[in-house]
Chains A and B, each alone.
Chain A
Amino acid sequence: MLAGKAPGLQHPNSNSILRGLIITLAYDDVNRTVTKRLLEKIGCEVTAVSSGFECLSALSNVEMPYRVVILDLQMPEMDGFEVAMKIRKFYGYHWPLIIALTASTEDHVRERCLQMGVNGMIQKPVLLHVMDSELRRALQSASE
């Protein structure tokens, strides 16, 4: 688990909405590294984890108010949906926000996401501007 304390970057449309703590969960080094850097680039503070257990542990740390979990759904040997379910079970439906990363555009994936209380979905591979706008959208609608 890596705690990222990246300085906030000046972004043309920057506002405090993105300066939140985020956990990103992905199985392999490449995806974890890329997603973490992507989030830092848009101004987030990121903790990168590689297991559901680490994710839940990080969330239980009261000193670090994580707002969002970026969850890779297609991980070998780990069911992303199960992790989402556990997050909702332990922390309720309003917090943290969960944004799922998926390679699939199939309807049943979308439906399952909604059932699990996932707040947003992004198709892989993740583009910088897509992550930015999806995060803003999810954070904005959560604050309404």
Chain B
Amino acid sequence: MNTVVVAQLQRQFQEYLVSLYQQGFLDNQFTELRKLQDEGTPDFVAEVVSLFFDDCSKLINSMSRSLGRPESVDFKQVDSGVHQLKGSSSSVGARRVKNVCISFKECCDVQNREGCLRCLQQVDYEYKMLKTKLEDLFNLEQQILQAGGTIPQININ
């Protein structure tokens, strides 16, 4: 094991993870999620976020259909979708996605179709952005493991 390479990768990983928190992509709940992962469940975080992104995709598609025709918007359905999205984004620590959901809910409450469409677009952007960021993060994890190192536990304060 090349300890220099491992140390370098570990530092890269740490810096990247911290930056994701600093830029508001992730919040404390993601830290909680990482606590649930251990040697017995090494892919837990990756699996949960994968479920989350699948959910995002499905919910965004169905909300898009509901918002489709201006004369017959099913706001109840949209509200249900936003609620679900808010819940799951909150559970995984997807801070930006969750925050868009808050605005999204407000637009839904006043039946503002234009506002909803804007929020829908934003939520779509945010989850895809987060997906890319986390893919990069998991990639770094893999590199560390392949180089024979361990994933650092990081305290985000």
Q: Which of A29, A38, A103, A128 contacts B55 (CB 8 A)?
A: A29
B48 located at the interface, meaning its Cβ lies under 8 Å from any Cβ of chain A in the complex: yes
When the two chains form their complex, are residues B41 and A28 in contact, meaning their CB atoms are under 8 A apart? no
Q: How many A-B residue pairs have CB under 8 A?
A: 55
- Give the shortest distance, in Å, between A122 (CB) and chain B (any CB): 13
Q: Are A34 and B90 in contact (CB under 8 A)?
A: no
Q: How many A residues touch the partner, as a band?
A: 10 to 19
Say yes or no: A125-B29 contact (C-beta < 8 A), given A28-B84, A38-B36. yes
From the candidates B29, B51, B84, B92, name the one contacting A76 in the complex (CB within 8 A): B84
Q: Which partner residue on chain B sits nearest A32 by CB separation? A: B51
Q: Are A33 and B48 in contact (CB under 8 A)?
A: yes
Max chain B C-beta neighbours (<10 A), residue from A37, A74, A127: A37
Q: Is the CB of B83 within 8 A of A76?
A: yes
Q: Does A31 contact B (CB under 8 A)?
A: yes
Asked whether A62 is an interface residue with its Cβ less than 8 Å from the other chain, the reply is no
B48 in contact with A74 (CB, 8 Å): no
Starting from the known contacts A29-B51, A30-B88, A31-B91, 4 additional A-B residue pairs (CB-CB under 8 Å) come to A34-B92, A37-B48, A124-B91, A128-B32
Residues in chain A within 8 A of chain B (CB atoms): 27-31, 33-34, 37-38, 41, 74, 76-77, 103, 124-128
